[in-house]
Structure 1
Amino acid sequence: MTSLFEQLWNGKNAEELESLMETGFFKERNNWKPLGGTKENLSIVSAQTTNSVRAINEKVMNAVDALLERKCIEHGLDPKSQDAPTSLKEALKRFYNVDMNEDMDGTLLSQLAEDIQIIAEGDEGYPNLTVFDNGIGQPLNKFKETFLSLMAGNKSATKFTQGVFNMGSSAVLNFLEGGRYQIIASKSPFEAGTKAAWSIIRRHELTKEEAKNHRNTWFEYFTLNGNIPTFDTKDTVIPLKKGVFREGTLVKMFSYGLEKGLSGDVTKSLKTEMDALLFQAPLPVTLTETRFTKKKHRHERVVGNQAVIRQHMEDVELRLPFTLQVAPFGDVPVEVYVFQDTVPRKTYIGNRSVLFTLNGQTQGDLPRSFISQEIGYKMLRDSMLVHVNCSDLPYTEDIFSSSRGNVRESVHFIRLLDTLKKELAEDPTLQKLEKERRSKLGGKTDGTTKDLLRKVMGNIRMNKELTRALREAGLSLEMNGSSSPAQPSPLLKKQQAVTYLKEGDTFSKGMPLGGRTVLDIEVSDPLRITEDHGDVHVRLLEYRPSRSARFDADEKKEKGIPSPKAEDLFDIKKERKGSIARISLGAKEVLNTEDEILLGVELDRNNSTHLSLIEVKMTPPKKKSTPKRQPKLNLPDIIRVTRNPEHGDSTWKNYHWDERDIAKLVPGEGKGLSHIAINLDADTLQQKLHRNMSKEQVESLKNQFIMNVYTHSLFLYYQLLLEDESKEHETTVANMMKSHYGSFITNYNSSQFLA
């Protein structure tokens, strides 16, 4: 059986294993049994984590469990006994003399790192990943009930282990390509002999006959005539970082699909992600990359980001530990790190600004919008990391989902989150640092720049939809601090919808009692509209009262009371601007539900001409609702930034810039932007300047550059904001400017706006 195992183990990828499945014992369908003893196992496997790295971390935590169980037995204790440790923290302290909240001794770190290994080999895009642990392993008679079970509760009586129902380790099956092949081999150090048990798990391929009776497929494992196969470890060479496999457990996952950007060198991309998700790694993990070097393999250790941060405290500007008091949890330890503003966000934070960990493993997280929007620290949002340690809390099942990747929106979690927000928002040290960061990025805005900005914004013709959207959002096209906001049309209330028509169109609309509608009618011959407002008339062409009002109308007719005019039914206002005639109609109280009215918009000329027909049917009045208060978004200031101080300008040092940077959008204390900083020593501008230019020409070119960068940045930012208000787009726009887009707008001619 050794050759059969090695033949599978040495397969290059899932495609090669697919071919092997059509040979020998593997093609015998009776040799395959459903994983967990049920053909309904697909739902169990699919319900696990949806993140490929979290799935690998499940294997790592199982490896930690196996090592601790081995140590427990070596210390003469039954892992399920009352004398065994009752928590992971206690087990690490008793068996390794390791404290999860303290740095591990370097010698011990090197020694322990080889007890858990992850080895990448095979294809570059979809590597084969092997996870090894030097732990308790499993004897042949327990292999099936442990590695090949689901929901068995094998470790429920062992209090210091993480896994309980043997479901989490199946999560990796969701990320395997092809037939979803995973080989498991194990040899217990407490079992005599050199035989190791093994099997391979795959996704069952439904036959035509099976497809008639089964909606879903299932996962199955290989047996040899109903028995778990074995191989002899002394005759089989499976290399590890040092030596070869002799005992413990091996799991090989073929053609593993990692998240985008993580399938490269695992000692870099995968390490970074694993350090983040194993924030307090209980034990170190060695990563080995074999795919990109023929002779010397690359090795790195996963130790958890907490340890990584402590190794680089020069990157930390502020470390703030404190304890929350939250019912019913009691004490909740929290640790805040604020990194130097020179440290890239991806180094320690990535997309996770708040971490909720359980026994070192990140079980849930919150994005940076929590820092900026919920707490209000917009200047710290890219530098602030919050770690909430939930390891010693009761009721953690009320906070975390079983897939270990999400938090539950439970009453307990909301209470925890509210307490955390209040504590962070009211902390004087963080408030002071927020103000210092904002002050550091402030700068001088002279009158020339403001006048230039007003001139450009006054002449620029913006996209009609964007203009309207900005107006509806409350954006005033004025400088910060200006006291003369743009005046809206007197006929148009804030956020009131306008219907656009062309001359000759017929407009039909249901209007609620007491409501108002506004129409902009485009006139084909604008010369027909004179300066006299009386030239545009709204006339009543037909009035059809509702059934309930018809008797009253007939009675008035019999008494000789004249038919109503348009002005009797509607409050009519008119306004003209160029080729647009704006008509505002407000329904008066004399109208009733179901009344139908036909109006005509006319011009007084030699021959009366209809512009449009308006058909209105009255509907029940709208329920009054409290209008949503829209925050005012003023235009941000311009900050001129240069390499060296020049007339009080801000410098590269303030922004940690170089010649490649072009702009930085700085968020305001409320909604919107405070200012846009523009690099006047950017390469893309300096390449256009030359010695033969006069001082006036240089200043003109700089002004054009400022206006191009400013207007493009502003419009891009607000367009992105209108599409998705939940995200923060300052960095996105700044990165766009830093790319080829910045070079494009440098050569974009805005002189037409400066005339």
Structure 2
Amino acid sequence: MNPEKLFRQLFEAGTEQDVEEIIFANQDIFNDDSWHPLGKNQSNYSIVKNQQANPIAALIEKLTNSIDAILTKKCLEAGIDPKSAEAPRSINEAVQKFFGDDSTTWDMDSFRKKQAKEIQIVADGTPRNTSVIIYDNGEGQHPYKFEDTFLSLISGNKKNIHFVQGKYNMGGSGALVFCGKKRYQLIASKKYDGTGEFGFTLVREHPLSKDEQYDNKETWYEYLMIDGQIPRFQIDELDLKLFDRKFKTGSIIKLYSYQFPAGYAGFAQDLNQSINEYLFRPALPVYTIDNADRYPNNKILELDLFGLQRRLEQPNNNYVESISSWDSSNELFGKCKIKAYVFKAKLQKRNAKESKDVIRKRFFKNDMSVLFSLNGQVHGHFTSEFITRSLKLNLLKSHLLIHVDCTEMNYDFRKELFMASRDRLKDGEETKALRRFLATELSKKDSPLSEIEKLRKDSITADAGNTKELLKSFTKNLPMDSELMKLLNQTFKLDLATDKKPKNHNQPKKKKESKEEKHPFNPQRFPTHFNMKAASNNGVKAINIPRGTEKTIQFDTDVENTYFDRIEEPGEMKIALINYKPDDTKGGTDKGEPKAVEELFNINKSSPKDGKLRISLNPKAEVRVGDEIEMKVTLTAPGEDLEELFWTKITEPEAKKETVNKKEEGEPLGLPEFVLVYKEEKGDQNVITWDRLEAQTIEMNYDTVMYPLGKGDSELERIYINMDSNVFKSFMSKTKHPNEQQIKMAENKYISSVYFHTLFLYTITKNRGYQISKVLENKPNPDPVDVADYLKDVFDHFYSTFILNFGGMEEMMIGVGD
């Protein structure tokens, strides 16, 4: 069989079973002498196996290599050696240098699709046995170079090229372990300039013979050579199932019978969304292609993608409620940029549950709530557990996405964050330190996220039930030293005192603080003013910062909140060092003259929020008391930037204030209040309705009995009790024509039963240290579940019916009726 015929047979094979048949029918070609170990190392199994743990993350490495190949091709076409000093020093610089103004047009549909055809990921096989074709119109390779590029491991052939993501040829091998059971992968390529021949090879996991199995020999990965060389033949072009083009040069890889996660269907939907998540901001757009033979009823078979960031920040986004950002410069890690996207609680024409399901499917397909990226590719993540446990933003746990750009972090810190496979975070000190930093910064009281959480909570606050009276009634005949009360007191700080101190009417009343009148904020596309809020002395603004503390400086402006984060014409806030006067009176070793503010301070800059801009400054250890620093803060604007100059003096550390009755970490909490919820309004009463809860992401309907709202994963703040639940209506229906006393008794029974059972189940679960998880359809591993969500689900499914109907209540109702 000539090489061209062999390649066509292999490429047309839809699944690994088809490849098996070709090998079996051509034993003279696929003999033992034709296979050679990948990376010229027969001990390569552990290298390949210990790559990405997720099949989607493994595919991302293939696409990253394709982006590298196109940028390298552009560099070579420009007559620049990719490893030379003239070559770009970063991926962003390469895009600007080689694509220039063209890259600015990719936000427009037609231009983006044209560029996306250069990198395609194409579906083959059947819906139940899918193979993947990955094509790029990149650098390509001559057949004699295959062993040094596609087929090498840890060779570092790209380590001196600064504008590529891959360096050591390892990541691309990670997809092999997800290629069916036999691990077949077809690789083919032709050099970008049209020189040389079209080469191809087949990679597989070596099938151990009986003798090798008997010797407990570990298998390895190997590739095909015929007569001692990579198979090759001449081409002008080939029809290789690509979208809107024939193959001429570049590279094409086929992964047979790829093991996608359960529930994945069309490439233009499910896979497209996942790639968008992992390639949060790719350098180049990509096309995902399916075919009508696989899904004849699917109207969308081709769909381009350009990263999740652009989907989130496109104008008139129907999903995102707000975007906030922080620029941080810190001695812990160097520099990073953080962006937080808060999604709407209810989408148009959808209820809360439908909205949540749509948002999770389209933007959280891989359960990644906090994304850590390098050059636009996600290298690790936290789940929504971080939102509740660390940020304590329970109402936002399913509606908040945070992106942390780690590209400019210090190398020594960054390399300790990520595994070599680039798909998950290390469980090390650096990861824990970064987690603590994010938790502290994003959960500050004046943080936009904290403000959104507070607004949402306030909107579902009404006159709460008299929790203390309910507890007193419950404990009327229950001594405080009982086991039940001891259990409650382990979690909640109970105050059952009945005697209240008499009010001192002679005590002077505190003057009410006059609140500053708020004017409606009228946002502008570009700022027209920029003013620092600080005391001025002879026209010079100055602030004091006690050493060891953080000082937040506020600026007034009129620019819109998305100014730093919008795609078109974004602005920036810069801070620069103008003058540095060290305090030389206290002696000490000489300090070098700093050149940037970042050498003196840890700095956090936040995006605009309704006309307010904030910069937080925290002096570093080298700064001495008495040092004076002059700084300039610039807000960029068309025509002329806006500037503010000010001086900062480092003062003595503040004496620690003694706090009275301040709740310490781990101290028991106050008893959670209960709030009664109804389907509809009740006249002019301020009651909480289902709609009000739904507007803040809490689903409530006839099937819902209660919803426990926490703060973090250990604080229970409120229990919303549904007074129009089917459970309560069914319970009431057993008494025909109830009188007013019976109705009141039934309501009290329902409220107290739901409240106390929730309270005790929550307390026992937390005190005993249980962690709850749930097996979900189409997911291999159980998902962690919050205690609050678990209890809501338990009450919705028969538990509440049980506690109402097996407590002697029916007999009591009959007695009252008689």
Q: What TM-score comes out, normalization by structure 1 length? A: 0.71
The structure-2 alpha-carbon separation of the partners of 1:86 and 1:180, relative to structure 1 and needing over 3 Å to count, comes to same
Q: Secondary structure at the match of 2:805?
A: coil
Task: Show CA shifts across 1:272-330 (max 9, x none).
Answer: 32222211122222222332226866222332221111125453333222221212643
Give the Cα separation in 2 of the matches to 1:211 and 1:452: 71
SS of structure 2 residue aligned to 1:474: helix
Shift in alpha-carbon separation, 1:39–1:288, aligned structure 2, 3 A: same
Q: Which moved more, 1:301-310 or 1:679-688?
A: 679-688
Query: Match of 1:723, as an amino acid?
Result: Y
Q: Which amino acid aligns with 2:808?
A: Q
Which residue is 1:283 aligned to? 284
User: 1:96, 1:235 → 2: CA distance?
Assistant: 26
Q: Is the 8 A contact 1:708 1:750 kept in 2?
A: no
| Aligned counterpart, 1:526 | none
Aligned to 2:371: 355
Query: Corresponding residue for 2:198?
Result: 196
Offset from partner CA, 1:139-181 (integer Å, 9 cap, x none): 2221222111111112112110111110000001122221111
The answer as to 2:404 corresponding to 1:388 is yes
2:673 partner amino acid: D
1:426 aligns with 2:432: no
Q: Which moved more, 1:153-162 or 1:660-669?
A: 660-669
Q: Would the alpha carbon gap of residues 23 and 335 (structure 1) be closer, same or farther in structure 2, given more than 3 Å must change?
A: same
- Percent identical among aligned pairs is 28
Q: Structure 1 residues 699, 109: CA separation in 2 closer, same or farther (over 3 Å shift)?
A: farther
Displacement of 1:3: 2.5
CA offsets 1:677-723 (integer angstroms, 9 cap, x no match): 23334567668888985565766666666566556655665565442
Match of 1:659 among 677, 701, 715: 701
Q: How does 1:116-195 map to 2 (within 5 A)?
A: 116-192=119-195, 195=197
Q: Aligned AA for 1:317?
A: E
| Separation in 2, partners of 1:102, 1:454 | 68
Cα distance per residue 1:241-289 (max 9 Å; x no partner): 213333221111111112233x223333323322222111222222223
Instruction: Quote how far apart the aligned CAs of 1:348 are.
Output: 3.2
Q: Decide whether the 8 Å contact of 1:186 with 1:248 is kept in 2.
A: yes
Residues of 1 paired with 2:36 and 2:157: CA distance?
Answer: 20
Matched, 1:375 2:375: no
Distance 1:459 1:174 in 2: 65
Deviations 1:179-204 (A, max 9, x none): 111111112221336x4211111110
Secondary structure of the residue aligned to 1:9 is helix
Greater alpha carbon shift after TM alignment, 56-65 vs 231-240: 231-240
**Is 1:723 matched with 2:741?**
no
Q: 1:397 aligns with which of 404, 415, 429?
A: 415
**Alignment equivalent of 1:257, drawn from 231, 241, 259:** 259
Deviation at 1:358, TM superposition (A): 0.2
Is 2:71 the counterpart of 1:29? no
Distance (Å, rounded) in 2 between the aligned partners of 1:268 and 1:420: 32
Find the aligned partners of 1:92 and 1:743 in 2 and give their Cα distance: 59
Post-superposition offset of 1:133? 1.2
The separation in 2 between residues aligned to 1:29 and 1:469, in whole angstroms, is 76
- Residues 459/260 of structure 1: CA separation in 2 closer, same or farther (3 Å cut): farther
Structure 2's unaligned 5+ residue stretches are 347-354, 499-663, 773-783, 813-818
The residue identity in structure 2 corresponding to 1:50 is A
Alignment of 1:585-604 (within 5 A): none
Tell me which residue corresponds to 1:41.
Answer: 44
Match of residue 681, structure 2, among 645, 653, 656: 645
Amino acid at match of 2:230: I
What does 1:309-328 align with in structure 2 at a 5 Å threshold?
Answer: 309-311=312-314, 313-327=317-331
Q: Report what 1:2 is aligned to.
A: 4
Give 2:457's match in structure 1, choosing from 433, 438, 458. 438
- CA–CA distance in structure 2, aligned partners of residues 257 and 469 of structure 1: 53
Q: 1:668 to 1:335 in 2, by over 3 A?
A: closer
In the alignment of these two chains, the number of paired residues is: 600
CA offsets per residue over residues 593-621 of structure 1, 9 Å max, x none? xxxxxxxxxxxxxxxxxxxxxxxxxxxxx
Name structure 1 gaps, 5 residues minimum: 485-627
Opposite residue 284 of structure 1, the aligned amino acid is P
CA 661–116 in structure 1, closer or farther in 2 if over 3 Å, else same: farther
Taking the aligned partners of 1:736 and 1:122, their CA distance within structure 2 comes to 43
* Contact in 1 for aligned 2:91/2:164 (Cα 8 Å): yes
Report the counterpart of residue 471 of structure 1 in structure 2.
487
Shift of 1:93: 1.4
SS in 2 for 1:398: coil
Q: Deviations over 1:558-612 (max 9, x none)?
A: xxxxxxxxxxxxxxxxxxxxxxxxxxxxxxxxxxxxxxxxxxxxxxxxxxxxxxx
Shift of 1:452: 6.8
* 8 Å Cα contact 1:444-1:650 kept in structure 2: no
TM-superposed deviation, 1:138: 1.2
Residues 319-718 of structure 1: matches in 2 within 5 Å?
319-327=323-331, 329-342=333-346, 344=356, 346=360, 347-349=362-364, 351-395=367-411, 396-409=414-427, 412-426=430-444, 428-430=446-448, 431-447=450-466, 471=487, 474-475=490-491, 482-483=496-497, 631-632=667-668, 636-646=672-682, 647-656=685-694, 657=699, 659=701, 662=704, 663-668=706-711, 671-682=714-725, 694=738, 696=740, 710=755, 717=762
Change in CA separation of 1:190 and 1:470 when aligned onto 2, cut-off 3 Å: farther
Greater mean deviation of Cα atoms: 708-717 or 373-382 = 708-717
Matched, 1:84 2:87: yes
Deviations 1:44-100 (A, max 9, x none): 111211111110100110010011112222223222222111110101111223799
- Partner AA of 2:701 in structure 1: E
Aligned-residue offset at 1:665 = 1.9
- Tell me which amino acid in the other structure corresponds to 2:90: S
Aligned to 2:114: 111
Q: Secondary structure at the match of 2:155?
A: coil
- In 1, Cα distance between the equivalents of 2:485 and 2:258? 46
Deviates more, 1:81-90 or 1:386-395: 386-395
State the alpha-carbon separation in 1 of the partners of residues 439 and 21 from structure 2. 56
**In structure 2, distance between residues paired with 1:468 and 1:410:** 41
Distance change (3 Å), C-alpha of 1:442 and 1:245: same
Within 1, Cα distance between the matches of 2:297 and 2:160? 46
Q: Tell me, in whole angstroms, the C-alpha distance in 1 between the residues paired with 2:756 and 2:10.
A: 61
SS of residue paired to 2:415:
helix
| Equivalent position amino acid for 1:149 in 2 | S
Among 240, 243, 250, the residue aligned to 1:241: 243
Q: C-alpha root-mean-square deviation of aligned residues, in Å?
A: 3.7
Determine whether 1:272 maps to 2:273. Answer: yes
Give 3-state SS (helix, strand or coil) of 1:251's partner. strand
TM-score (normalizing by structure 2): 0.66
Cα distance between partner residues in 1 of 2:104 and 2:488: 51
1:120 Cα offset (Å): 2.2
Q: Find the aligned partners of 1:678 and 1:329 in 2 and give their Cα distance.
A: 46
